[in-house]
Amino acid sequence: MFRPAGRIEDLGVSEILTITARAAALKREGRPVIILGAGEPDFDTPDHIKEAAVAAIRQGQTKYTVLDGSPEMKRAIRDKFRRENGLDFAANEVTAGAGAKQILYNAMMASLNEDDEVIVPTPCWTTYFDIVRIAGGVPVAVPCDDSTGFRLTAEALEAAITPRTRWLMLNSPSNPTGSAYGEEDYRPLIEVLHRHPHVWLMVDDMYEHITYDGFRFVTPAALDERLRDRCLTINGVSKAYAMTGWRLGYAGGPADLISAMAVVQSQSTSCPSSVTQAAAIAALDGPQDFLADRAASFAARRDLVVDALNAIDGITCRKPEGAFYTFASCEGLIGSTTTEGVRLDSDRDFCAWLLDAANVAVVPGACFGLPGCFRISYATSEAELGEALGRISDVCRALR
Ligand code: PLP
């Protein structure tokens, strides 16, 4: 019988994927299921990006490139960091891999020794926990809630740091809450980090371009020069340019860390796809004006979803600053009974029941480290969102 390695024994395939797959199977059977679980934009990859990939294929750019990004790819990444974030990286301080997820994996594998700790504010994208575990580290959850806008406070950070802490992991705007850190939120955290020079900072800026209401996006390395030699700034083209299937993520950070990450990549996936790199260069170099139009469209959907959720008795939802998720509390409905006489004892029960009773798939907060809540991805049309929220409201009204 197959025995999995100890390092993955307790890990499973992402619960979000399992829920989405179940909902998709029901849909294929003919049920009118609306899936609000997926973490990807419903927009298409823009044409100029697709054309760059087609041209690369025709020009024979179909071979291995430099391990962690072609010189052109690295040039485009450095230009992006300089232009949009005010960060000046040398060529040996940037790296490209097959998605931000691989960049994270490379970084953790390259830096963690057995039992090193990584502080992760929760609720969070659970991938952080599992990658830390695979790399032999220990994820240290610091629970955050609505009262701080799901943001980590300086006091909570200070209390979580131990001599074994290697990294603080931050994600803004956040999956799953949509919360974002402004400059005034980062500054006190940076002060704590200055008191603990052994703690490095890893930031995941994946949703940088999806923010609302004039929110001013900043990234910590740009706020304080002293962070530059211990901060890894991660980003990617998946969400901003609707390129989730192309697989290209990148990062900027200290040269020693970047070259250690290249060692991990060299013995796992090698270079990212040459064709994808051509597409990503076009994305980073090309027109950026459509990003604001797409963010405006996401903002309208956010308002629709937040308003509809807050109108349901027993559900409360904070208005997020970015990304395309709402993270609402269903605490007020836990313990209630369905018309079939079934008691809903948890957020997992609530979400499973929503799929059965309303044909709407959403993800339980427990998947992200905060039970009593659920995540909606509103990266779908307003018509579909309106229908889904109408159904959720109808079935919740019938709960006793
Ligand atoms: N970071 C966050 C916060 C995400 O939510 C996701 C995807 O859901 C990723 C990174 C993954 O990005 P990529 O597609 O580049 O691997």
- pLDDT tens digits for range 289-308: 999 999 999 999 999 999 99
> DSSP assignment, residue 28?
H
**Residue 337: DSSP 8-state:** B
Q: pLDDT grade, residue 18 (50/70/90)?
A: confident
Q: How far is the CA of 205 from the centre of ligand 1 (A)?
A: 9
Mutate to test the pocket of ligand 1, among 103, 239, 368 (most ligand atoms within 8 A of CB): 239
Share of the chain above pLDDT 90, in %: 93
Residue minimizing CA distance to atom 3 of ligand 1: 175
- Taking only Cα atoms into account, the Rg of the chain, rounded to an integer number of angstroms, comes to 21
Q: Please, where in the chain does CATH 3.90.1150.10 lie? A: 6-44+290-397
**Model's pTM, two decimal places?**
0.96
Whether 334 has a pLDDT exceeding 90, the answer reads yes
Ligand 1 mean position to 336 CA, how many Å? 35
Does residue 294 sit in helix, strand or coil? helix
What does the pLDDT read at residue 291?
A: 95
Q: If pLDDT is split at 50, 70 and 90, which confidence band does 11 have?
A: confident
* Residue 372 pLDDT class (50, 70, 90 cuts): very high
Ligand 1 site, residue 240, Cβ cutoff 6 A: no
Torsions phi, psi for 184 (to 5 deg): -70, -20
Are 173 and 321 in contact by the 8 Å Cβ rule? The answer is yes
Q: Which residue intervals of the chain bear CATH 3.40.640.10?
A: 47-285
12 pLDDT tier (thresholds 50, 70, 90): confident
- In the predicted model, is pLDDT for residue 187 greater than 90? yes
100 within ligand 1 shell (Cβ under 6 A): yes
Query: Is CATH 3.40.640.10 what the domain over 47-285 is classified as, yes or no?
Result: yes
- Those residues whose C-beta lies under 8 Å from the C-beta of residue 261, and which sit 6 or more positions away, are 68, 95, 97, 103, 106, 107, 110, 251
Q: Is there an atom of ligand 1 within 6 Å of 320 CB?
A: no
Q: Are strands 249-252 and 325-329 parallel, antiparallel or unpaired?
A: unpaired
Q: Reduced to 3 DSSP states, what percent helix, strand and coil does the chain have, rounded to the nearest 5?
A: 45, 15, 40
Which of 77, 175, 233, 324, when mutated, tests ligand 1's pocket best, judged by the most ligand atoms within 8 Å of its CB?
A: 175
The CATH homologous superfamily to which domain 6-44+290-397 belongs is: Aspartate Aminotransferase, domain 1 (3.90.1150.10)
Q: Whose CA is nearest to atom 12 of ligand 1?
A: 100
How many Cα atoms within 13 Å fall on the side-chain side of residue 98?
13
Burial 216-246 (b: 16+ CB within 10 A, else e): ebbbbbbebeebbebbbbbbbbbbbbbbbeb
pLDDT at res. 127: 93
Shortest CA distance to 14 belongs to which of 35, 39, 32? 39
Q: Give the whole-number percent of the chain exceeding pLDDT 70.
A: 100
Mean pLDDT of the chain: 96
Would you mind telling me the total number of residues written for the chain in this entry?
400
Q: What is the DSSP letter of 113?
A: P
Closest CA to 218 of 173, 188, 284, 152: 173
Which whole number is the average pLDDT over 192-203? 98
Q: Amino acid identity, residue 30?
A: G
pLDDT reported for residue 17: 83
- β-partners of residue 326 are 376
Give the per-residue pLDDT at 207: 98
- Which band of pLDDT confidence, cut at 50, 70 and 90, is reported for residue 6? confident
Q: Assess: ipTM above 0.95.
A: yes
- Provide the edge-to-edge strand list for the sheet that holds 373-377: 316-317, 325-329, 373-377, 363-364
pLDDT digits (tens, 9 = 90+) for 230-277: 999 999 999 999 999 999 999 999 999 999 999 999 999 999 999 999
